Amino acid sequence: MISDLIKNRRAVFPVQYNEQPIAKSAIEKILEAANWAPTHKKTEPWRFKVLTGTSKERLGEFLSKKYQEVDPRPKQIKIRKLLENPKRAGAVIAICMQRDPKESLPEWEEIAATAMAVQNMWLCCAEMGIGAYWSSPGLIKYMGEFFELNEGEKCLGFFYMGYTDEEIPEGVRQPIEEKTTWL
């Protein structure tokens, strides 16, 4: 049931992933789920760049080096995390948003549509037993130096995916009644 899937979806971090690879067909299924997100004016702003194999290592090296360039006091633990997390993942998908060239709707709507596409991916991963995590480090503003981005395209983060052997804890939420006003 979809409500159970929504309630059981969790962030599963790269440090929790095992070595099991993710099949290309599974990644394609996840991306197809993303493609069915709602989109105002049918702009379909989501764009994805899939990193597997050595491209994940190159991403980690880029992020680690860029962090050391831009932070006046880089922390060794963060350098290591930026370097290692992409390698730990079965796949990393760069989440990008292509702005409508006519700017026929507010940018926040295009970002929201892209986020809905990512939610579809996350729910699909949960259904398939694949752990996932959306990371949006400050370094995403430099991704035009790593990826070829089109005019008006920006990177919104990375969707890390991997299988895990760990038990995923149940989620906790405050009651919806505390967040709802009936008029």
Q: What is the DSSP letter of 168?
A: P
pLDDT of amino acid 1: 85
Q: Look up the pTM and report it.
A: 0.95
Measure the CA–CA gap between 7 and 12, rounded to whole angstroms. Answer: 14
Residue type, 67: Y
pLDDT of amino acid 168: 86
Number of C-beta neighbours around residue 8 at 10 A? 13
Number of C-beta neighbours around residue 121 at 10 A? 28
108 has binding-site annotation = no
104 has binding-site annotation = no
Q: What is the CATH number of the domain that holds 126?
A: 3.40.109.10
Is 133 in a helix, a strand, or coil? strand
Number of domains in the chain: 1
CA atoms within 13 A of residue 38's CA, in its CB half-sphere:
3
Predicted confidence pLDDT, tens digits, the chain (183 residues): 889 889 889 999 999 999 999 999 999 999 999 999 999 999 999 999 999 999 999 999 999 999 999 999 999 999 999 999 999 999 999 999 999 999 999 999 999 999 999 999 999 999 999 999 999 999 999 999 999 999 999 999 999 999 999 988 888 999 999 999 999
40 has binding-site annotation = yes
Provide the residue range defining the domain that includes 144.
2-179
- Which ranges of 71-106 would DSSP assign to H, the alpha helix? 76-88
Measure the CA–CA gap between 45 and 113, rounded to whole angstroms. Answer: 7
